[in-house]
Structures are given as structure tokens and as C-alpha cells.
């Protein structure tokens, strides 16, 4: 028997508008609501609605053998509620089937665990409450933002009561082993570690429409044979991917929807196979060994580390300045300011500042709404500077001169140079 664990990640950030230095002190609306709305509504039509309908059909046809896991960031949920209610309803329809698991994460898709356990806990709790409110679901599985994971994180979330944790099946973590089993870590007791089978996942998420790929065009029967081949050598196949794979990254014209439907049916033609949620697989299968994650791994870029968000000085500086403001923001008791700061914790903002020119850079550029990582940095730091300015007028305990200084004195010259 082999069980396929489908896990889809749904996320929409609050992208920043072009927030210029002259906006500081004049306008504290940092986010591009209209652009975020436009992107969400496009993705809803191209991905969320057709793919959710397909999943509903598959659940109806295979109610006892087809299940799926989702994580949906809080920022995606709130934007769907505001701008794409049909999308939110379609996820609620999936929840009502009882065949869908919702995985807990940070509400704002942040890197808070790396910087502030207090903020991490608050965002995780807020996301847990959102899953309960919108989907009537109490999660038992956790995924950190971008599948960032190490031994200490596993121990931390185990102590919070979670029974399963998602991670990346990186070669340097697994060594000679494969990701087709459940693992533990040297410092945890019971929490199950599910590691992404990145080869099979990326065959769908990235290579499916690549005409130079040796397996293009990928047939559903071929992929099902690859899964069948794991029978006897593994118990689970963890297919983890961005939900926008379907219809947005891989357009409908590539045949991605037909492929997925046929692949599920072909896999289920073997009566020994099924599709389980992470929670169901955790209940069914035992741990088969340990992975010792001394260093952080993630599912981003070829290195599968933190470089996608902390790989250059711009990113590290932006992140450091953001969290220097945390204490002062929370002491302000200004709910609007706190929410704006939390939206700035979303990892996408520093992801857009990636400057490595290798192939990974093309992926970053694809997702970025800016034509330069330096503009992303500039607009972000301008917004942080305005947050610091607002603290000087809203906090009686911390005048602006005592708030953490940013490196924004150089930004006007940089902005002038960029627009010249």
C-alpha cells in the first residue's frame, strides 16, 4: 500500500504600493489594495474556482479514498472575504465534505519564528482561530512559513500539542534515505515529520509544461506508475506544492487540470493506493527513523535554506529593522498600526529583495510586483520609516528619537537615482 499526501498551499500577501519617500508622514496607506484585489480575482478565476470544483468532483467520486490537505494563510482568507467571496465559499464547500484537512501556520505568512517567539505564537493562534471560524476546523498539523524547519522548531510545535509537521525533503537532510516515510527528530518524542518529495512534486509544479524536459508531455498514467513503483519501498508520497500551480503557474491550456484528474483516477485504479490527509497518514503509519535537522531547511530555491529571505544585506537589514520596531508597535496600543506592522512581517516582502542572478532569481522575479529588488527594498523601508514616525506621535512612552533608527537616510538619493 502507498498513500499519496496532497498538500496545497494557498497564500496572497498584502503587496506594498510604490510607497515613495515623500509619502512618509503624509500617507500611511502602505498597501496596494487595488492591485491585490486584481491579482486575487484573477487567481480565483484561473485556479481556485476550477480546481476546487475538480476536487469536489473527485471527493464525490471517491469519498472513501480521496482526501487532501490545505494551508490557507490568514492574509489570503481576509482578502478572499473582501474581494473574492466565491473563492472563500468554494473552500468552505470543500471543508464541508469532511475530506479536507486545514493545516495551521502563521496568520501573516511571516518569518516570526526566526525573530520573535512571542509574535510567532500570536500569529499562529490567530490563524488557528481563523480556521475554526471560517472552516469549523481544529488543526493538528503545523507548517511553518515556506516549510522552514529544524529540530528546535519541531520540538517547539510538539510542545504546543501538534502531532505532525511539514518539511522539505532536502538531500542534505535525508542523505541516502527517501522522503517516502514518516520521520522524527533526535529531540522530539511523538511529532511526525512529513518531508516533501520534491522530485515528484516539482514534476507537476515546475516541469509539467517545460517542453525541453525529457518527460514532456507528462502523461497521467506515467506519473501513476511512478507512484505505484514506491509500493514496497515506501508508505507515503508527499506531493506538496503551491495551489496556484493549477491554472496560474501552469495554465489550463497546458492540460494541467485534465492531467490531475486522470492522475488521481489512475493512482486509485490500484486498490492498494489511496489519498490521505497528513493527519490521516499520521494516524495510520509509524515513524521509520530520524532526520537530524541541525540547520534550517525550506522549500525555496536550489539551496533549500533561508537564502531566499536572508541571502543579502538588503533582506537582512529590512528584517532586522522590522523586528526592532516590534516592542514599540505593540506598546502603542494602536490596532491599525499593529496590523500594518504585522502585514509587513509577511515573508514575500523580503523575498522580492532577492538579488542573486542565478536561475533562482528568475523565480523571485516572476512573483515580484516590482521591476527591481532595490525598489522593493526602497518602498518597504519607506513604509518602516513611516511606522517609526507614527510611533513618535502615538506612543507617549517612546518618542521617535528613541525608536530604532533605520537606514533610510540614503533612500531619497537612491529613489532619485532609480527614477532618473
| Residues belonging to the active site | 146
| CA distance readout (Å), 386 to 30, 91, 260, 354, 392 | 9, 36, 46, 23, 10
Beta-carbon contacts of residue 96 (< 8 Å; ≥ 6 apart): none
Q: Which phi and psi angles does 101 have, rounded to 5°?
A: -100, 145
In 200-347, the DSSP E strands lie at 236-242, 273-275, 287-290
Other C-beta atoms within 10 Å of 332: how many? Answer: 22
User: From the CA atom positions of the chain, what is the Rg in Å?
Assistant: 22
- 404: number of Cβ within 10 Å: 17
Residue 420, SS3?
A: coil
* Number of other CB atoms surrounding residue 184 within 10 Å: 18
**Three-state DSSP state, 89:** helix
Q: How far is it, in rounded angstroms, from Cα 142 to Cα 161?
A: 10
- Alpha-carbon gap, residue 381 to 405, rounded angstroms: 11
Amino acid at each position: 500500500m502507498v498513500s499519496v499526501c496532497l498538500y496545497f498551499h494557498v497564500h496572497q500577501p498584502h503587496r506594498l504600493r510604490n510607497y515613495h519617500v515623500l509619502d512618509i508622514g503624509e500617507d500611511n496607506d502602505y498597501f496596494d489594495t487595488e492591485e491585490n484585489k486584481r491579482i486575487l480575482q484573477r487567481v480565483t478565476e484561473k485556479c481556485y474556482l476550477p480546481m476546487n470544483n475538480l476536487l469536489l468532483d473527485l471527493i464525490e467520486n471517491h469519498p472513501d479514498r480521496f482526501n487532501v490537505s490545505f494551508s490557507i494563510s490568514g492574509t489570503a482568507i481576509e482578502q478572499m472575504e473582501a474581494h473574492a467571496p466565491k473563492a472563500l465559499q468554494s473552500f468552505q464547500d470543500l471543508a464541508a465534505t469532511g475530506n479536507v484537512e486545514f493545516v495551521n501556520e502563521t496568520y501573516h505568512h511571516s518569518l516570526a519564528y526566526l525573530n520573535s517567539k512571542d509574535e510567532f505564537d500570536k500569529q499562529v493562534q490567530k490563524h488557528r482561530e481563523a480556521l475554526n471560524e471560517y472552516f469549523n476546523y481544529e488543526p493538528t498539523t503545523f507548517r511553518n512559513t515556506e516549510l522552514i524547519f529544524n529540530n528546535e522548531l519541531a520540538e517547539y510545535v510538539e510542545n504546543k500539542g501538534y502531532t505532525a509537521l511539514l518539511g522539505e525533503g532536502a538531500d542534505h537532510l535525508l542523505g541516502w534515505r527517501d522522503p517516502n516515510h514518516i520521520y522524527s527528530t533526535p529531540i522530539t518524542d511523538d511529532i511526525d515529520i512529513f518531508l516533501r518529495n520534491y522530485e515528484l512534486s516539482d514534476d507537476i509544479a515546475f516541469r509539467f509544461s517545460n517542453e525541453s524536459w525529457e518527460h514532456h508531455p507528462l502523461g497521467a498514467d506515467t506519473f501513476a506508475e511512478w507512484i505505484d513503483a514506491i509500493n514496497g519501498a515506501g508508505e507515503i508520497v508527499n506531493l506538496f506544492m503551491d495551489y496556484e500551480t493549477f491554472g496560474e503557474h501552469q495554465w489550463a491550456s497546458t492540460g494541467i487540470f485534465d492531467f490531475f484528474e486522470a492522475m488521481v483516477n489512475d493512482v486509485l485504479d490500484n486498490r492498494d493506493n489511496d489519498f490521505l490527509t497528513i493527519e490521516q497518514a499520521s494516524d495510520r503509519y509509524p515513524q521509520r527513523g530520524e532526520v537530524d535537522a541541525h540547520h534550517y531547511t525550506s522549500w525555496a530555491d536550489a539551496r533549500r535554506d533561508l537564502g531566499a529571505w536572508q541571502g543579502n544585506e538588503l533582506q537582512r537589514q529590512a528584517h532586522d529593522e522590522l523586528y526592532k520596531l516590534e516592542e514599540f508597535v505593540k506598546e502603542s496600543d494602536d490596532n491599525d498600526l499593529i496590523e500594518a506592522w504585522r502585514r509587513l512581517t509577511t515573508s514575500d516582502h523580503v523575498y522580492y529583495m532577492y538579488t542573486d542572478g542565478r536561475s533562482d532569481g528568475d523565480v523571485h522575479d516572476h512573483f515580484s510586483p516590482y521591476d527591481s529588488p532595490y525598489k522593493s527594498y526602497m518602498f518597504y523601508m519607506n513604509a518602516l520609516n513611516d511606522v517609526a514616525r507614527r510611533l513618535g506621535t502615538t506612543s507617549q512612552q517612546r518618542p521617535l528619537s528613541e525608536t530604532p533608527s533605520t537606514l533610510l537616510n540614503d533612500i531619497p538619493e537612491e529613489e532619485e537615482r532609480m527614477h532618473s
